[in-house]
Amino acid sequence: MKILIVEDDNSLAQAIAAVLTKLHYVVDIASDGQDGWELAIACNYDLILLDVLLPKFDGISICRQLRQEGYQMPILLLTSLDTKSDKVIGLDAGADDYVVKPFDFQELTARIRALGRRGSSFLPPILEWGSLHLDPSSCEVTYANEVLHLTAKEFSILKLFLRNSQRIFNRGAIIDNLWGAEKDPPEEDTIKSHIKSLRRKVKAAGGDYNFIETVYGMGYRLKPLPEEKSTDSESNSELTKVLLAEIALQQKAFKAKVGERIAVLKQLTHAICEGDFDKHIWQDASQEAHKLVGSLGSFGFARASQIAEKIDNMFQDVAPINQAQSLHLYKLVVDLQHELEQPDIQTSNELLSNKPTQDVLLVISDSEQIAQQLVEAATGVVAVNIVATSSIAKSGVISANADVVIIDLDSDYGIRDSLKLVTEFSNRTPPVPALVFTNSNNFDDRIEVARAGGRGFLHKSMSNEQILHHVTKVLQTVHMPSAKVMIVNNDSNVLNTIKNLLEPRGIKLKTLQDPRQFWDTLTEFLPDVLILGLKMPYIDGTELCQVVRNDPYFCSLPIIFFTDIPQVDISMQLFNKGADDCITEPIQESELLTCIFNRFRTNLYYQKFLTL
């Protein structure tokens, strides 16, 4: 399958291409609308992945023009515009699907597969479960090449389970999926009869009678095949490797780009040293030096950041500098250039070492059987640490780090103490989501778990794959649950750094370099947290902060400042202007995440208080 990616964000385009190439797709990339249009009409693509906001020729226009020219390949729009009207415009222009940034790579590849199946060159895929095959195009079902004669409803039920192999359906859900539009849906016992008949026909052909198995108290599901676990593990492991490799590539791309910026700074300082003092040259050089202080440190170039800070300090005085100062300034710029020309092996390794290859699942249980089952199911997806509840009872301390926790509620530790563990993990900074694992289906227990801050109530009748699926979903919101963060800073490298830190954690971002567009962007995006740079052209951060505090609707919006001035010197001034918090550049990942989470959580509590 041949795919064209039209995306002006090179880092994102390369990451998508790397993932798709691992999945054996042939991929081409166009960085602007004009190149995308020319490639689309010149080559025979099976699918086009198309950004909406593109230079030269926007994605909506490309999509509309392709349809007018008679091209029928599936088109998937990829954009940060997520309003209902934006989606309607895209679909009306001829797009087949619409994915909003930030997105999950697994969801994106699943949508690409789905669109590929819709293409004219693709027949509906054969659905398989071991030797059981269902052909949607011919409506034929076989087991070990023997044709099974099914009723229409048996066929529909089988197709429902084969298309949703990881899902549990109760009888009501099956009725909603297959009879929902009819006036007189059948009784739930009718579903039981259909499934029983379907099982008998598969068994008569030599299959497993319980290929659709009953999950006590929950419903029915397709019995997992042994080989499915290893396939999923390999896929997730491969995706992790691709994403880690992309982090290193982004750092190299930044280093190449910042070299050009330093070359410009060198030219400006050389002109100053030659006595060509011009206010515009001075302003440009000062602005460039100021940007470099934070961005270099954020990307791990600590010594280069220190040199840039010295350069920035020399630009604080507006008056012309003397000859000795100008020579010192030029020497600092040369030192900065030389520092960034050094091999970056150590820096790259440090950056990668801070990115865990796997999330960590902590299992708290005295049952060796439960622990071993979860370890086997999680191999290649998450790392598993096991702590016995008996050891917690003795020490009262859990030192193991974790991204998510499963607590066995039926252990000898007792439900009361187990719930205290749930609360302890929920109250950490940042919180660690805690799920309970139990044989109980008692409503009162569910209430107590919810009150303790639990993030999941898992019944022990669930398969390991189902448990792991739920853990994976919870992990997507480990650091920040669906927060919207708006960042205003005139340094694009700072914006990209924060974007790379926050987007993988499911946070929706809106970045803005020109503060003159602040109000329109704020009122359209409606963020949960606002991050402001202090020194910006046209309008500085404190003025934007006061504008927000003066508005009746936005006055309680949490505001965080980024500044390269030590907090002792600036914090009180910023707090007096209305700031909630202040972070000193270079950006530290843990400090940034904790600060945003705390402000977001505080704002949620405040909003709840207003509704009382």
475-489 pLDDT tens trace: 765 544 457 899 999
The SS3 assignment for 608 reads helix
* Top-confidence residue, 353 or 428: 428
* Pair 606, 490 in one domain: yes
What CA–CA distances, in Å, run from 208 to 11, 183, 223, 477, 483? 48, 35, 10, 38, 46
Q: Could you say which of 61, 93, 118 is where a domain stops?
A: 118
CATH code of the domain containing 454: 3.40.50.2300
The SS3 assignment for 553 reads coil
* Top-confidence residue, 372 or 231: 372
On whether residue 229 sits in a domain, the answer given is: no
Q: How does the average pLDDT of the chain come out, rounded?
A: 77
Task: Specify the number of domains making up the chain.
Answer: 5
* Pair 606, 494 in one domain: yes
Q: Could you say which of 475, 495, 527 is where a domain stops?
A: 475
Domain that holds residue 589: 484-610
* Pair 364, 340 in one domain: no
Range name among 36-40, 196-200, 331-335 with the lowest pLDDT average: 331-335
Predicted model pTM: 0.30
Burial class (CB in 10 A: 0-12, 13-18, 19+), 605: exposed
Residue 301 — very low, low, confident or very high, per pLDDT cuts 50/70/90? low
Name which of 583, 488, 477 is nearest 527 in CA terms. Answer: 488
CATH code of the domain containing 251: 1.20.120
Q: In this structure, how many other beta carbons lie within 10 angstroms of the beta carbon of residue 320?
A: 11
The SS3 assignment for 312 reads helix
State the residue for tokens 């006055």.
555
Q: What is the DSSP string of 474-489?
A: HHTTSS-SS-EEEEE-
Q: What is the DSSP letter of 505?
A: G
Residue 136 — very low, low, confident or very high, per pLDDT cuts 50/70/90? confident
Q: In this structure, how many other beta carbons lie within 10 angstroms of the beta carbon of residue 267?
A: 12
Alpha-helical regions (H) of 25-102? 33-42, 59-68, 84-92
* Pair 17, 65 in one domain: yes
Q: What is the dihedral of CA 242, 247, 252, 258, to 10 degrees?
A: 150
pLDDT of 76 above 90: yes
Alpha-helical regions (H) of 427-462? 443-451
pLDDT of 352 above 70: no
Name which of 89, 20, 101 is nearest 508 in CA terms. Answer: 101
Q: Could you say which of 201, 223, 245 is where a domain stops?
A: 223
* Top-confidence residue, 323 or 544: 544
Residue 37 — very low, low, confident or very high, per pLDDT cuts 50/70/90? very high
pLDDT of 49 above 90: yes
Q: In this structure, how many other beta carbons lie within 10 angstroms of the beta carbon of residue 448?
A: 18
Q: 75 and 61 in contact (C-beta within 8 Å)? A: no
What's the angle, vertex CA 306, arms to CA 254 and CA 492, rounded to 5?
A: 35
Name which of 270, 297, 284, 209 is nearest 497 in CA terms. Answer: 297
* Pair 463, 525 in one domain: no
Residue-wise pLDDT tens digits, 416-443: 888 888 888 887 766 788 999 888 888 8
Longest CA pairwise span in the chain (Å): 96
State the residue for tokens 């929706």.
508
Q: 457 and 428 in contact (C-beta within 8 Å)? A: no
